[in-house]
Amino acid sequence: MKQKIHVAVGLIKNNDNQYLISKRHAHLHQGGLWEFTGGKIEANETAYAALCRELYEELNLTVKQASPFVRISYAYPDKHVCLDVWLVDDFTGDLQSSSAQAIQWVSPAELPGYSFPAANKAILNCITLPECYAITGRFDDKEDYIQHFKHCLNKGVKLVQLRTLTSDLDVLIDLANISGSLCKKEKAKLIVNADVDFLEKCDVDGIHLNSQRLFQYTARPVFPDKILAASVHNINELQQAIKIESDFVVVSPVLKTTSHPDAIPIGWNGLEEIISQSSIPVFALGGMKQDMLLKAKKSGAFGIAAISELWNHLK
């Protein structure tokens, strides 16, 4: 079994919304590729302490404020790494590379033009994703649906999953068109819980696969310009989502829910166990409240997903 190396990574962001990247020396593992700066967490050292130490030693930067961003586990042929990624948006110091690595401030739009290690792909995905994922719930009719949907967007939600129990394709297309129009106005993204074929019928930002649809595919079934998400409840389903190159997964139920009262929650420990084996971002679902975002992130999740909290709470 390969040894797992635990690494603290700094996603360093300046006031111009640029991220700092550095180029690995050619003789190192993954040499010649760009990366977000960090280093190995030493024995009896916390991830935050390692982050502060590494950024000072490598870049002469003193961390003033940092928050958990995401935790990613990735198995290379020769080693297994766990990336404990922190968003660093307040720091001081005269920036310089102690090892003479090339360093560069890059905007989010420019990042795809740089070559990163495979483990960093998930970090790049997260930079473009909102941290809250709203899922549509019950509604009485079309007008009620629109009212709820507008409420979601008015709360600042930028990522919405259209999920409905209807088997009427025309109704789903109608709701998707309405939702897509509302999302465009607010610069939000719309993902539809449906078969992949739905993308041929309606122009939306992506598809969310439920755990049954997930196993219908052996490779990524959508083009790279579309988001592919999946619902998972255990390691087996997570591995399948990774196999078909999903952009992120939703893990549930973390806590007891009103929408699925009979489902047995996995708890925060169960969430962490699944995340410990995930090379893609995880959203926590099930009993989530917006004030639980930091707790979810401390568990390694990138964000939270919610129905009741973001859909049902009309003010």
Ordered DSSP codes for 130-146: -SEEEE----SSHHHHH
Do 199 and 158 have their domain in common? yes
Do 79 and 225 have their domain in common? no
Do 167 and 253 have their domain in common? yes
Over residues 261-277, the mean pLDDT reads 93
Do 258 and 304 have their domain in common? yes
pLDDT band at 29 (very low <50, low <70, confident <90, very high): low
Report pLDDT for 4.
Answer: 85
Element (H, E) at 274: helix 267-275
Do 231 and 94 have their domain in common? no
Q: With 70 as the cut, is the pLDDT of residue 199 above it? A: yes
Contact 137, 307 (CB under 8 A): yes
Do 198 and 290 have their domain in common? yes
- Per cent of the chain over pLDDT 90 is 86
Instruction: Give CA–CA dist 184/234, Å, rounded.
Output: 34
Do 43 and 137 have their domain in common? no
For residue 231, the cross-strand partners are 250
Instruction: Give CA–CA dist 284/303, Å, rounded.
Output: 6
Instruction: Give CA–CA dist 227/207, Å, rounded.
Output: 6
Report pLDDT for 299.
Answer: 97
The reply to whether 18 falls in a domain is yes
What total number of domains does the chain contain?
Answer: 2
pLDDT band at 90 (very low <50, low <70, confident <90, very high): very high
Q: How many helices (H) and strands (E) does the chain have?
A: 8, 15
Q: With 80 as the cut, is the pLDDT of residue 260 above it? A: no
Mean pLDDT value across the chain:
93
Do 112 and 254 have their domain in common? no
Among residues 87, 118, 149, the one where a domain terminates is 118
pLDDT band at 263 (very low <50, low <70, confident <90, very high): confident
- Per cent of the chain over pLDDT 70 is 96
Instruction: Give CA–CA dist 263/245, Å, rounded.
Output: 27
The reply to whether 237 falls in a domain is yes
Residues 147-183 have pLDDT tens digits of 999 999 999 999 999 999 888 999 999 999 999 999 9
Lowest mean pLDDT among 2-6, 11-15, 218-222, 311-315: 311-315
Q: With 50 as the cut, is the pLDDT of residue 315 above it? A: no
Report pLDDT for 309.
Answer: 87
Lowest mean pLDDT among 28-32, 66-70, 187-191: 28-32
Angle at Cα 76 formed by Cα 53 and Cα 283, nearest 5°?
70
pLDDT band at 228 (very low <50, low <70, confident <90, very high): very high
The reply to whether 127 falls in a domain is no
Among residues 68, 84, 118, the one where a domain terminates is 118
The reply to whether 86 falls in a domain is yes
Do 187 and 295 have their domain in common? yes
Q: What phi and psi values does residue 126 have, to the nearest 5 degrees?
A: -65, -35
Q: Is the peptide bond before 253 cis (omega within 30 degrees of 0)?
A: yes
CATH number of the domain at 111, please: 3.90.79.10
Which stretches of the chain are DSSP H helices? 47-59, 121-127, 142-154, 169-186, 211-214, 235-243, 267-275, 293-298
pLDDT band at 27 (very low <50, low <70, confident <90, very high): low
pLDDT band at 136 (very low <50, low <70, confident <90, very high): very high
- Which residues span the domain enclosing 78? 4-118
Do 195 and 295 have their domain in common? yes
